[in-house]
Amino acid sequence: MMKDIATPQRTKEILNKYGFNFKKSLGQNFLIDTNVLRNIVAAADITDETGVIEVGPGIGALTEQLAKRAKKVVSFEIDQRLLPVLDDTLQPYENVEIIHSDVLKADIQGTIDQQFEGVEDLMVVANLPYYVTTPILMKLLEEHLPVRGIVVMIQAEVADRIAAKPGTKEYGALSIAAQYYATAEKVMTVPGTVFMPQPRVDSAVLRLTIREEPAVAVQDEAYFFKVFHACFANRRKTILNNLVHNLGPKEKKVEIEAALQEANIDPKRRGETLSLDEFGKLSDALLKRL
């Protein structure tokens, strides 16, 4: 029986065998703790009926744990140097497919149609590189993929922002963007010591459960996104000020005040105090006037 990939010793053996050097530009931090990996898989509630999309398999540490439980795992890997490594480390698992591609440019829906025919239960599970966490998560959410949820290891600070509640200092545009599509919860915090090389910050496992319908019904989704981004442009400014300066045109201040009144929102409030529901009402009221 082969030893798990995610031990310090086996990871070092694999890296030495292939003379692999970490690329800082790709944010490569490999997990070397099997317990943490099992917790990630458990948080995703994977069964032998589940198809899993993974981003950035590295040398296959998480992929291996997923493959042991899932029906099929399809992983997107951007770094060509890792393809022969993955061929070797994941050889025992026939239910794994590695796609050499940048997930941000990939046709994920097309891949699902091709790779997961007849699979009803789909999950995204990944140890995401810090530098592209937000674009990858937003792509996964905005494309309305037929997935049950997303479980990812990301920087702890970003996980706090995504799962934040109104009125907290972490709450912002990213919280609203994610919570519009999904419910968000931080499952566990993970110290840097379980990675090779060790990052300087703590990580966290975040679970997003996709909503059947978005959290609020709005007339124009793109405009709704524009409105809350405008409200957080300068956190110290009131909503009214932010909207006047960032949603423009400036001569529309009277219309913006009327929209705030219609949505029953005090113009002196700040963006971080508004709930998703309030942003939805405000967006529809502004859409009529601007």
Q: Which residues are annotated as a binding site for S-adenosyl-L-methionine?
A: 29, 31, 56, 77, 102, 127
Binding positions are: 29, 31, 56, 77, 102, 127
- 3-class secondary structure for the chain? CCCCCCCHHHHHHHHHHCCCCCCHHHCCCEECCHHHHHHHHHHCCCCCCEEEEEECCCCCHHHHHHHHHCCEEEEEECCHHHHHHHHHHCCCCCCEEEEECCCCCCCHHHHHHHHCCCCCEEEEEEECCHHHHHHHHHHHHHCCCCCCEEEEEEEHHHHHHHHCCCCCCCCCHHHHHHHHHEEEEEEEEECHHHEECCCCCCEEEEEEEECCCCCCCCCCHHHHHHHHHHHCCCCCCCHHHHHHHHCCCHHHHHHHHHHHHHCCCCCCCCHHHCCHHHHHHHHHHHHHHC
